[in-house]
Every structure is written in C-alpha cells, then in structure tokens.
Amino acid sequence: MCLVLALLLSAVAAACGKAGSPPTKGPATGELPVYQVAKGFQLPDSPTWRRARKRGHLVVGVKEDQPYLGEKNPATGTYAGFDIEIARMMAASLGFDPKTVRFVTIASANRETALQNGQIDFYVGTYTINALRKKLVGFAGPYYMAGQSLLVRRNDNRIHGPQDLDGKRVCSVAGSTPYQRMRKDYPKAVLVAYDTYSVCVDNLLTYQVDAVTTDDAILIGYAAKAPDELKVVGRPFSKEPYGIGVPRGDNALRFALDEALRAREKNGDWRRAYEATLGLSGVPVPTPPPIDRYPAT
C-alpha cells in the first residue's frame, strides 16, 4: 500500500520508512524570503522565551506530511512549507536566527500535550483556533483562514459535497476538527481515523476509503502533487482559522507573536512566504485574516 503513495508523494516516503526522491509531480518550493532577525530582542515576561534563550534555539512543533504547508524532505531531514516559513519569521521576530530553529513533528492529536509538557516552545501546523482548545493552550493569530473540504479520486463522480457521504468510507485524523465535525454533523458516513492525512491519502489511492476530509489548504496540496489521481470537490463547509499554539498562560509570548505576525504581514514577508510555498499549489494569495488579540488568560 505504501508503494502506491511513495510513487506519488515525497512526504509519504518518510512514512513508509525509506528515503525518497523529490516529488515527481507538482512544483518545487520557490525562492524563500530571508527574514530580518530582531537585534537585542528581549521577552523577560515569557518563561517559554527565557527557556529557549538559555537553550540557544527554539523548538517548534510542525507537520511533516502536508505538501506546501509542512513537509519534511526524507532525504535531507529539512522542513519546508508555509507553516514552516511562519515559524521561521516568528523566530526572527523573537530574536532567533531562523536557521537554528529545531522542528519536531507532532501529530494533530498530540499538540495540546506537547505544548503543556514543554516538549515544544510553540506550534505551527494547520492548527485551528477554537474555544475548546483555548482552554488547554494559547493561540496567536490567526495567520491564515482555511475551510473543511473533501478529497476524492479523480475518476469518482459520486461525491460532490458532504451530503453525498452517507454510507461512504471517509478518512480523517484523530483529534482534528474535521474529524469531530464529521462525527457530529454527518453520522451516516463511515468514519475512519489515522494519525496523519498522508495515510488517509494512501488509503484513498488504494480504494480503502472513498474520501479524505480536512482543510482545503491541506487537500489542495495533495491534489496538486497527484493531479491525475486526486481532486478536491465541493465548497469548504467550515471556517478553520490557523493559529500559532503557545503554552497556555504565556501571554507575553502570545502577544509578541501577534505583534510579529502583524509586522510580517505589513512588511510583505507573509505574502512572499505564501507565494513561495502554499501559493504554488494554485491558490492565489489571500488577504490574511485579522489578528485576534484576546485578553490575558
């Protein structure tokens, strides 16, 4: 089963435990911006920042199998994508050289725990801001607005939207908002859950499931890498504002990241990063959503 997808998606080569070559289809990452590192930056009120300063680098949680967003090259171990660029520009704003950021892959279901137990300093990986999660972690942003959608096989003409999913096998990721929404709003679909979306896509290509559901930004990336095999159908049926997850209560870090996002949107870095990554999957550059600086927790 792994073989099928390894042929199509570079990211999955990692999941299949073998070093892969660059993707055979779809554009490569573009020319990446260089971010100005803030000189003499201090954030003494943030315990997370102080710990990172002492350590000498930031540790950032990300995804590794989401094309154009957070993708790890299995041959070199380097990460690329829009979320990775957001993490790098945030590092620069916090006074750290982006080249020194240590990325750690964390699955959707493990994000809150990783932030709570100090495994990571912050998290940038298609992480939807919502009220439930705000009880467990803090969120800077949003820095991007996605929406839940559906990925099906190119030759499938049965599924056009979530209304067509009754009795169909639908794959999503445990602990994700699309998974929760399917369970609640579309109980007649046969829901299958894995830890990562690339495994869902593998299952789709091998006819184990009929559809994959998650954010359009993620699905468009898989479709762009395998346009002859996959397509995204219908309109987005939710709003998924992407935030930067921080340890709950570290308001100083959250506010600093809010400010940094504003500044990077203003000086063009956000746009340049988008164009060099997610923009390559074919979606024109959107206006970033307004930052929601909510009161200290």
Structure-token match 């982006």, residue found: 98
For β-strands 211-215 and 169-173, DSSP reports them as: parallel
Q: Which residues contact 285 (CB under 8 A, 6 or more apart)?
A: 271, 274, 275, 279
- Segment interacting with ligand GLU, rule: CB under 6 A, options 11-19, 23-31, 124-132, 136-144: 124-132
Rounded CA-CA distance 84/91 in Å is: 11
* Cβ-based nearer residue to ligand GLU, 38 or 109: 109
From candidates 10, 48, 128, 149, binder to ligand GLU by CB under 6 A: 128
Which of 64, 65, 71, 215 is the binder for ligand GLU (CB under 6 A)?
Answer: 215
- Within positions 161 to 190, which residues make up the interface with ligand GLU, using CB under 6 A? 173, 176-178
Q: Which of these, 93, 29, 96, lies nearest to 59 by C-alpha position?
A: 96
Q: Is 108 in the site for ligand GLU (CB under 6 A)?
A: yes
237-276: which residues touch ligand GLU (CB under 6 A)? 240
Strand partners, 102: 59
Judged by CB under 6 A, the number of residues near ligand GLU is: 12
The C-alpha atoms of residue 216 and residue 238 are separated, in whole angstroms, by: 10
Minimum distance of ligand GLU from residue 53's CB (angstroms): 28
CB of 289 to ligand GLU, least distance (A): 14
Task: Say if CB 111 and CB 245 are below 8 A apart.
Answer: yes
Does position 123 interact with ligand GLU (CB under 6 A)? The reply is no
| Positions in the binding site for ligand GLU (CB under 6 A) | 108, 125-128, 173, 176-178, 214-215, 240
